[in-house]
């Protein structure tokens, strides 16, 4: 019981320090320009549309479920990740989710952002994995040129354009990127 109390206090103190460091960060004093918000969101929207078209090649109901899942994964992100983020309810969030999340969900400090991010980021992975797997299966079993072009477009957006925008535009100038699990994952995978 005593240990629980001690751990909670320690956690709160770590979070308070994190919040203090970050709210003093210069990135909170400037807003992200609209073009950057659009640059972050339009490719994601295109990915969802191309993914839905790919799933539709094998099942219309599957495509409806996939489209609904894609939108759900974004709302889940607003609910489960953004409330713990330093950019929650600030104009420093590169994609604008932090502001939307604040309108729908309460700020949370009971866990660290790093932990929450690692626990929940998997929700978005099916948006890449499901359409890509279906595309590979269809290319092998019933190849068409249209399907090939669709797969290339999906892969370019999902595996090249979106990661490059994150790395070189959205997150490039972020003052807290050293604390971001996403940037650390990218760094580790390069080693
Ligand atoms: S930076 Fe990421 S986690 Fe933080 S508020 Fe914006 S979208 Fe959410």
Position 142 pLDDT exceeds 60: yes
Contact 43, 127 (CB under 8 A): no
Quote the ligand 1 centre to 189 CA distance (angstroms): 22
Contact 120, 66 (CB under 8 A): no
**Average pLDDT, rounded, for the chain:** 83
Quote the ligand 1 centre to 140 CA distance (angstroms): 38
**Residues 162-173 pLDDT 10s:** 999 888 776 666
pLDDT at res. 1? 43
Contact 84, 113 (CB under 8 A): yes
Give every CB contact of residue 166 below 8 A, 6+ residues apart in sequence.
Answer: 40, 182
95 pLDDT band (50/70/90 cuts)?
Answer: confident
Atom of ligand 1 nearest to the CA of 96: 6
> For a pLDDT cut of 70, what percent of the chain falls above it?
73
Position 151 pLDDT exceeds 50: yes
Pairwise CA distance, residues 105 & 131, whole Å: 30
Angle (CA) 72-65-38 rounded to 5° is: 45
Quote the ligand 1 centre to 164 CA distance (angstroms): 17
pLDDT at res. 184? 54
Position 9 pLDDT exceeds 60: no
- Measured from CB, residues less than 6 Å from any atom of ligand 1 are 81-82, 85, 87-88, 93, 95, 97-98
Instruction: Indicate which residue's Cα is closest to atom 8 of ligand 1.
Output: 82
Position 24 pLDDT exceeds 80: no
User: Which residue has better confidence, 25 or 142?
Assistant: 142
Quote the ligand 1 centre to 88 CA distance (angstroms): 6
pLDDT at res. 20? 47
23 pLDDT band (50/70/90 cuts)?
Answer: very low
Contact 91, 31 (CB under 8 A): yes
Position 137 pLDDT exceeds 50: yes
Position 14 pLDDT exceeds 60: no
Position 15 pLDDT exceeds 90: no
Instruction: Indicate which residue's Cα is closest to atom 1 of ligand 1.
Output: 93
Instruction: Indicate which residue's Cα is closest to atom 5 of ligand 1.
Output: 98
Pocket test for ligand 1, best of 31, 101, 123, 181 (most atoms within 8 A of CB): 101
68 pLDDT band (50/70/90 cuts)?
Answer: very high
Count of Cβ atoms closer than 10 Å to residue 147 Cβ: 16
8 pLDDT band (50/70/90 cuts)?
Answer: very low
Closest residue by Cα to residue 134 from 120, 145, 150? 150
DSSP the chain: -HHHHHHHHHHHHHHHHHHHHHHTSGGGGSPPPHHHHHHHHHHHHHHHHHHHHHHHTT-HHHHHHHHHHHHHHHHHHHHHTGGGSTTTTSTT-TTSHHHHHHHHS----SS-HHHHHHHHGGGGTHHHHHHHHHHHHHHHHS--HHHHHHHHHHHIIIIIIHHHHIIIIITTT-TTGGG-HHHHHHHHHH-
Position 18 pLDDT exceeds 80: no
């Amino acid at each position: 019981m005593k240990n629980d109390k001690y751990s909670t206090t320690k956690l709160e103190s770590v979070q308070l320090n994190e919040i203090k460091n970050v709210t003093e960060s210069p990135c909170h004093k400037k807003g992200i320009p609209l073009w950057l918000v659009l640059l972050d969101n339009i490719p994601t929207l295109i990915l969802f549309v191309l993914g839905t078209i790919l799933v539709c090649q094998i099942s219309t109901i599957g495509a409806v479920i996939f489209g609904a899942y894609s939108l759900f994964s974004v709302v889940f992100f607003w609910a489960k990740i953004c409330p713990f983020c330093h950019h929650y309810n600030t104009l420093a969030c590169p994609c604008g989710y932090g502001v939307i999340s604040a309108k729908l969900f309460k700020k949370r400090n009971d866990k660290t952002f790093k932990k929450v991010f690692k626990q929940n980021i998997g929700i978005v992975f099916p948006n890449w994995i499901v359409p890509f797997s279906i595309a590979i299966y269809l290319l092998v079993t019933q190849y068409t040129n249209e399907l090939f072009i669709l797969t290339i477009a999906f892969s370019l957006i999902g595996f090249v354009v979106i990661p490059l925008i994150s790395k070189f535009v959205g997150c490039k100038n972020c003052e807290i990127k050293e604390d971001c699990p996403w940037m650390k994952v990218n760094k580790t995978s390069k080693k």
